[in-house]
Structure 1
Amino acid sequence: MNRAELGSALRALRQASGKEAKAVARGAAMSASKLSKIENGSVMPSVVDMEHILTAIGVSEGVKAEYMSVARAAATEATAWRLYQRLGYHRKQQQIQAIEARTTLLRLFQPALVPGLLQTPEYVQAVLGRKQLSEEQLARAVGARLARQRILYEPGRQLRFIVTEPVLRWRVLPPLMMAGQLDKLISVSRLPSVDLRIVPLSARQTDFPSHSFSIKDDRMVTVETVHAELAVTDPRDVALYIEKFEGFERVAMSGEDMRSLVEGIRDDLLREQETG
């Protein structure tokens, strides 16, 4: 099977399963029209699309491996943010949630913003509010992102976050709301499934925080750039991101030392609010 035959092969798989296209599309967190275009060969599915579709159909691991190998022929794929805007950012959040639901070990490095799984509603609103969405689209996107946070409380997960200190100081919100966001980080860091670490500005660095990235188990890395999201699945490339994550992990603060750093910045914000 080659890339040109992929769409028709997926359609044959779905039909053999007895499942309607609408049901598979819903399970794959995509529109029925997108699934139709994939099956007709007019749209090439990404690695993420392929995994979602095969899971929704319910194929065996052997069949999944065969189809995924074709999808991975292009190991790094980019999806422009404007496409997500057209489809609805809430669908993007649902896609991420579907991937996270199948992930046991999540490692996320973030040098610019509080990770989405750790954001307060006000912070989510501020971040997604920059995307020029309608009021309804924004409300649905915010709700979908907050719904993802249920994973924080699910047993059997390992959620490891590394954040650089400037993230705590970046004025995404007014001082009082930022203090509330930092309080949430302190609270969430005590959950048994969460390992939150902060790379302090005072630590000597041998690496540079080029951009944020998220590692799902050892199988996929997603990278956010200005214009698109990249999905990286080549094991050699995934290994590079794991190595980078572990390098920052070694110099990051954790436990009570980390919480003391966050509390100090939070207290500065509260004093600023009082005197402002």
Structure 2
Amino acid sequence: MTFEPEQLGQSSQELAAMLRDLRKRAGLSGVRLAARCNMSQSKVSRIENGKVRPSLVDVEQILRALDAPSSIVAEVSALARMANTEWRNLRELRRKGLGTRQAELRALETSSSHMRYFLLSMVTGLLATPEYVRASLAHSPADTSKAVAGKLERQAILYDASKRFTFILTEQAIRWPVVSPFALAEQMDRLASLTYLPNVRIGVIPLGVHASRNPLNTFTIYDASLVTIETSAGSLVLRDSRDVQSYLDEFATYEEAAVFDEEAREKLAEWSTACRS
């Protein structure tokens, strides 16, 4: 089954209708299907009405319970994968307004307890100084004033003690010259100061440190439910539990390679001094 990136995330209602139709063709009630799948009847109902996005594991359980033929399994599984994956191209984000994107991120942060950020090439807005935020958006042809304000307002969530944050930054991300050397030194000083927040862990991977994986993209994990992957053309959103777990595993390898606390502050101070000199 082939599809365009823009189709991702748009098949939820089609998936719900197909699962409902398969159950009826099998002559099963929602209660009997739920019992076979070890699910609640209310969850089966919400899935079939499109009110809950089923994971791939949920869909596999339902298809097995319905004894669906292999051709149907392949088609429904492809729909489930599409429903749990979403592509947001940069052109569309700019059309809607970059400020709208900040509102979406704020909602994700508000609804999550533990957020993990792997930062390959730049400092994320939650950790950035105002000058760094403005410079990071300077290339955009759209009006960025609302996006800048949104990024800076979102930083307040770092001080919410009910939230946990783990940031892993490569040396390249920290030292990439987004701003002038002096402003970059200030950015490094801010990172060092944030390491003292009790609910914030900031790890640094210096150049030359071996990691068992080779990173390709910046990504963020929200609890164990959703991953966003940043590319130069847009962002990919993954919701399937197995996809999320693969990124949790990858993040753990970078966490093992990183230095934290006083060792991280020493590195940041060294690089900050180099910028000022």
- Give TM-score, length-normalised by structure 1: 0.73
The equivalences for 1:192-203 within 5 A come to 192-203=198-209
CA distance in structure 2 between the aligned counterparts of 1:185 and 1:250, rounded to whole angstroms: 19
Which residue in the other structure is 2:254 paired with?
Answer: 248
CA distance in structure 2 between the aligned counterparts of 1:61 and 1:82, rounded to whole angstroms: 36
CA distance in structure 1 between the aligned counterparts of 2:168 and 2:12, rounded to whole angstroms: 39
Corresponding position: 1:3 with 2:13: yes
Counterpart pick for 1:85 among 82, 94, 101: 94
Q: Between the two proteins, what is the percent identity of the paired residues? A: 32
CA contact (8 A) 1:160 1:195 kept: yes
RMSD, matched Cα: 2.3
Which residue in the other structure is 2:19 paired with?
Answer: none
Which residue in the other structure is 2:52 paired with?
Answer: 68
Counterpart pick for 2:271 among 237, 243, 265: 265
Counterpart pick for 2:137 among 117, 128, 135: 128
| Paired residue secondary structure (1:201) | coil
Corresponding position: 1:115 with 2:124: yes
Cα offset, 1:64, TM superposition: 6.9
| Paired residue secondary structure (1:192) | coil
The equivalences for 1:32-181 within 5 A come to 67-69=51-53, 73=80, 74=82, 75-133=84-142, 137-181=143-187
Cα offset, 1:115, TM superposition: 1.6
CA distance in structure 2 between the aligned counterparts of 1:2 and 1:251, rounded to whole angstroms: 39
| Paired residue secondary structure (2:146) | helix
The equivalences for 1:180-191 within 5 A come to 180-191=186-197
- Give TM-score, length-normalised by structure 2: 0.73
For the structure 1 residues 139 and 2, does the alpha-carbon distance in structure 2 shift closer, same or farther, using more than 3 Å as the test?
Answer: closer
Letter in 2 for 1:83: E
Displaced runs of 4 or more, over 6 A: 60-65
Unmatched runs of 5 consecutive residues or more in structure 2? 1-10, 17-41, 57-79
CA contact (8 A) 1:111 1:163 kept: yes
Unmatched runs of 5 consecutive residues or more in structure 1? 7-59, 272-276
CA distance in structure 1 between the aligned counterparts of 2:132 and 2:43, rounded to whole angstroms: 39
Larger Rg: 2
Cα offset, 1:61, TM superposition: 8.9
Cα offset, 1:238, TM superposition: 0.5
For the structure 1 residues 268 and 79, does the alpha-carbon distance in structure 2 shift closer, same or farther, using more than 3 Å as the test?
Answer: same
Letter in 2 for 1:67: K
CA distance in structure 2 between the aligned counterparts of 1:265 and 1:62, rounded to whole angstroms: 55
